[in-house]
Amino acid sequence: MKISVCTLAHGREDHLCNLVRGLNRSHRPPCELVVAVMQDQRYELPDTGFPVRQVMLGSGDICLAEARNTAAEHANGELLVFLDVDCIPAPSLIEDYAAAAEANDGVLMGEVGYLPKGATASGIDYEAFERLAVKHADRAGPPRDMVGRCGDYRCFWSLNFALSARTFQEVGGFDQRYVGYGGEDTDFGRTVAAHDMPLWWVRGAKAYHQYHKHHMPPVHHLDSVLANAQVFADKWGEPTMQHWLRAFRLMGLIEPDPAGGWTKLQDPDESHLALTRQQEHQPYASSSLVLEQLKSQARRGSDASRAPAMAPA
């Protein structure tokens, strides 16, 4: 079985170089690495024992869905392994996916360990990575067996997954109507479910996520989240990204509109960015933690408004 690794990149050259270095340490190397390059300049990457093809997309308004589809279209492998640019594959990732794919159809989702800031400063050190990496609290743990069925399409995310090239073609790839950040992952999971194809958690096939600053919920992508939520609702007749939208509403950024969508009330300011900004001591950012904080603030505000006034002295 030929296995292609696909990624997309804009900036983050250090992250991409570490991804390549990780593939160089693979027990079973891929037949190729295909990089959808979302900028005008090619990357200077480490030497490899397998072909690396950079597909130049330019620096225009290229959506993530289009970039993933382009990488898949240029891949020659029978099995496609998608890794985000900030992932470092464990040495067994490719052989784990190969073993799981031999026995199971559908979409396979490997493990992810989140690294703290500075974890890659001394290079690729898998023993250190395993000590330092943590599992995301909002994600499922590895299954007991080699694979375990995932019954909720909303759990799919494109950080680290694999499927056959044939399956990717059957489901039609990622929907390119999702522009900017948000929604295209959940739509892909929903599409897989609509085709009666299973989603599988995989024990192993691990990737280590390199630290980078970002906001969660992604308040800096407010406009695209709202637009893509509407695309999903129009397509499937059901909502998505509700936890993010709930957080944005509690922040006073949006409100429901009579048609069932959302109206933006204001752009986020520094207070919203500060609330959602990943703290440097945390390997990952959690939407649920921010949402719970916002709910707690809302409850305290509601309790204060219902409290009886003090009798005059």
CATH number of 3-209: 3.90.550.10
Could you tell me the CA-to-CA distances from 27 to 6, 89, 91, 303 in Å, in that order?
18, 11, 5, 58
Domain ranges in the chain with CATH number 3.90.550.10 = 3-209
Nearest CA to 83 out of 145, 137, 154, 3 is that of: 3
**Cβ–Cβ under 8 Å, residues 156 and 128:** no
Structure tokens belonging to residue 288 = 């649920």
224 versus 286: the higher-pLDDT residue is 224
Looking at the predicted structure, is the pLDDT value of residue 309 above 60?
Answer: no
**Alpha carbon of 130 to those of 36, 88, 114, 211, 308: distances in Å?**
29, 12, 10, 14, 54
Angle in degrees, 0-180, between the axes of helices 184-194 and 222-236, rounded to the nearest 10: 20
Rounded to 10 degrees, the C-alpha dihedral 70/56/221/69 comes to 0
pLDDT tens for each residue of 193-234: 999 999 999 999 999 999 988 888 999 999 999 999 999 999
Find tokens 């130049």 and name the residue.
56
pLDDT of residue 281: 75
Residue 232: per-residue pLDDT = 96
User: Rounded mean pLDDT of the chain?
Assistant: 92
pLDDT of residue 303: 56
Residue 117 in tokens: 């800031």
pLDDT band of residue 311 (cuts 50, 70, 90) is very low
The two tokens of residue 121 are 């400063």
Q: For the chain, give the longest Cα–Cα distance.
A: 84
Please tell me the predicted confidence (pLDDT) of residue 121: 95
Res 310: pLDDT: 43
> What is the tens place of the pLDDT at every residue in 92-150?
999 999 999 999 999 999 999 999 999 999 999 999 999 999 999 888 888 999 999 99
pLDDT 10s digits, 52-95: 999 999 988 789 999 999 999 999 999 999 999 999 999 999 99
The reported pLDDT for the residue numbered 277 is 85
Q: Which residue has the higher pLDDT, 300 or 124?
A: 124
pTM confidence score: 0.92
Residue 80: both structure tokens together: 């496609």
